[in-house]
Amino acid sequence: MGSFDLSRPDFVARFPNMSYDFSRTPEWSNLDLDGIDTWIDAKYRFTKNLFARGAYRYVKYDDNDPYLYDLTGRNSLLYFSLGYLF
């Protein structure tokens, strides 16, 4: 990642208390992530007004270079609902 310049002398001149130095920001983070987030759902109508819906979601997150702590993990979520249209 290349460096970026956030210098604004006109802003700093008007607001001296807001003159933060962001020049080292790229050094603070070295993110190396892989992940999958997938979702499938189905809906079935019993009648014109009554239906059921179900869904499954799978999330996999790999933190290849943990910075503060390792966030690697997986999560599976299963949803089910009944609905009625008025």
Predicted TM-score (pTM) of the model is: 0.55
User: Once rounded to an integer, what is the mean pLDDT over residues 50-63?
Assistant: 94
Q: Is residue 3 part of a domain?
A: no
For residue 1, being part of any structural domain is answered with: no
Say if 16 falls within a structural domain: yes
CA gyration radius for the chain?
Answer: 24
How many structural domains does the chain have? 1
Question: Model confidence over 3-24: pLDDT tens digits?
Answer: 656 666 666 667 666 666 667 7
**Stretch 60-83: mean pLDDT:** 88
Residue 76 lies in a domain: yes
Domain membership of residue 30 (yes or no) is yes
d(CA 50, CA 70): 45
Q: How far apart are alpha carbons 19 and 24 in whole angstroms?
A: 14
